[in-house]
Amino acid sequence: MNSKQTEHGPKVTGHPDERGHFRQYGGMYIAETLMPAVLELDRKRREILPDPAFQKELAGLLADYVGRPTPLFLAKRLSHYLNGAAIYLKREDLAHTGAHKINNTIGQCLLAKWMGKHRVIAETGAGQHGVATATAAALLGMECEVFMGVEDISRQAPNVKRMELLGATVTPVDSGSGTLKDAMNEALRHWVARVRDTFYVIGSVAGPHPYPVMVRDFQKIIGIETKEQIRSMTGRLPDILVACVGGGSNAMGLFYPFLDDPVEMFGVEAGGEGIDTGRHAATLGCGSVGVLHGSKSYVLQDRFGQISPVHSISAGLDYPGVGPEHSMLKDTGRVSYLAVDDRQALEAFHMLCELEGIIPALESSHAIAFAITEAPKRNKNEIMIINLSGRGDKDLGIVSCAPGKEKQE
């Protein structure tokens, strides 16, 4: 492979090191009470995940229960409308529970079960990770408690109901801004108290080592399938990959298997009400290096190291941190990160509904919004793949109240 992306610059695969460092990022910045649990988790995942019996059980569940492989779909009407690159959608919205989150929760809950743990906890923002954890816990006969900010509980109500139906306890978190960051704070506090019998299922490629590498490894099936599918459909690799980035798990899942290939990659962050308003969640675009929730990475913070309030119309992207591997990929220039704002995401949401008959999650709508501006600049023989990370049923309440709806009607 010779390409402008790979022949120069530092090597971006082969990370993290033994202690979870992606160059200067990652690591384990957590309270001593949790250190033994996290070190134990790292030992166990190295022992259990490669076990053929575990792999067989996981593959069976991903195929028969989650419904993998998810399709890769050529969005002809959208491509035609944009009159540029051919756009393919990786349909993670068609996975069981309606988002890519289930790939990781099935993996982690199965690992928990192999480790002899019967109780799992999770944090959730949009509720997709909470639903996916509650689902895996129900399937595997485990107790499940999900921490969710009060602001997110009100804007993602359908997912709260789903978690309850699945037998999970949803614990409201009213500290801070009542969003994803605060839910993660509370989950960590709860874990400190119950660490001996509880497995913490982190939903993104964030948190202390080994979570960033473990979650990436459970999500990389997205990219592995995509590579096979695009090769069999077109006989070649794609030119461009696009995914939204909050914590960054769907993006890492898609990007990782292509890191050594001559493929351009774009991570799309939440621009909120606009970067210049200060009300956004563009961590890689506007943040600086810091330590939050167990790892070193880019963080939105003030000059004294206090974490900044963030905003996005999409609860799943409304987070002031980002996975450490993304920070490395930003610094090395391997992936380009940029932001689209709430309004652009809403326009993209409506466009996909009307042109393709697919209701995307507001998170995924950010990736589509970037494609809408980028695809027309590209040749028609170029292939762009967007990770359609989730479906948008959960967002109907937000979308129907949002301004700009009339634009597409």
Partner 1 sequence: MNRIEKTFNRLAEKKEKALVGFVTAGDPTIEKSQEIIEAMCDSGIDILELGVPFSDPTADGPVIQRSSERSLANNTNLETVFKMTARLREKSDVPVVLFSYYNPIYRYGGRAFYRSAKDAGADGILIVDLPPEESAELTSCREEEDFPLIRLLAPTTPEDRIAAIAGSASGFLYLVSMTGVTGSSGLDTSSVSEFCSLVRSRTTLPLCVGFGISTAEHVKQIAAYADGVVIGSAFERLIEEHIDDSGLVQIIADKTREFKQATRL
Task: List residues near partner 1 by CB under 8 A.
Answer: 19, 27-37, 175-176, 181, 185, 188-189, 192-196, 288, 290-294, 296, 299, 301, 303-307
Phi, psi of 274 (to 5 degrees): 125, 135
Which of 337-363 are b and which e, b meaning 16 or more Cβ less than 10 Å from the residue's Cβ? bbbbbbbbbbbbbbbbbebbebbbbbb
Taking the least distance from each CB to partner 1, the nearer of 83 and 175 is 175
Structure tokens at 109: 């809950």
Least distance from C-beta 191 to partner 1, angstroms? Answer: 9
Least distance from C-beta 120 to partner 1, angstroms? Answer: 17
Residue whose C-alpha is closest to residue 365's, from 355, 375, 351, 376: 351
Q: Which of 92, 123, 264, 325 is catalytic?
A: 123
Taking the least distance from each CB to partner 1, the nearer of 177 and 389 is 177
Q: Is residue 389 annotated as a catalytic residue, yes or no?
A: yes
Task: Judge whether 259 and 267 are in contact, CB under 8 Å.
Answer: no
- Dihedral of CA atoms 351, 356, 357, 361 in degrees, nearest 10, equals -60
Taking the least distance from each CB to partner 1, the nearer of 185 and 249 is 185
Q: Is residue 7 annotated as a catalytic residue, yes or no?
A: no
Least distance from C-beta 310 to partner 1, angstroms? Answer: 12
Least distance from C-beta 293 to partner 1, angstroms? Answer: 7
Q: Which of 79, 92, 101, 145 is catalytic?
A: 101
Pairing of strands 21-22, 25-26: antiparallel
Taking the least distance from each CB to partner 1, the nearer of 28 and 112 is 28
Task: Judge whether 91 and 357 are in contact, CB under 8 Å.
Answer: no
Task: Judge whether 303 and 190 are in contact, CB under 8 Å.
Answer: no
Taking the least distance from each CB to partner 1, the nearer of 19 and 76 is 19
Q: Is residue 204 annotated as a catalytic residue, yes or no?
A: no
* CA contacts within 13 A on the Cβ side of 75: 30
Least distance from C-beta 397 to partner 1, angstroms? Answer: 28
Taking the least distance from each CB to partner 1, the nearer of 296 and 326 is 296
Least distance from C-beta 200 to partner 1, angstroms? Answer: 12
Residue whose C-alpha is closest to residue 29's, from 173, 211, 214, 216: 211
β-partners of residue 265 are: 241
Instruction: List, as one string, the DSSP characters of 130-149.
Output: HHHHHHHHHHHT-EEEEEEE
**What gap in Å lies between CA 76 and CA 62, rounded to an integer?**
28
Task: Judge whether 338 and 324 are in contact, CB under 8 Å.
Answer: no
Residues with a known catalytic role: 101, 123, 389
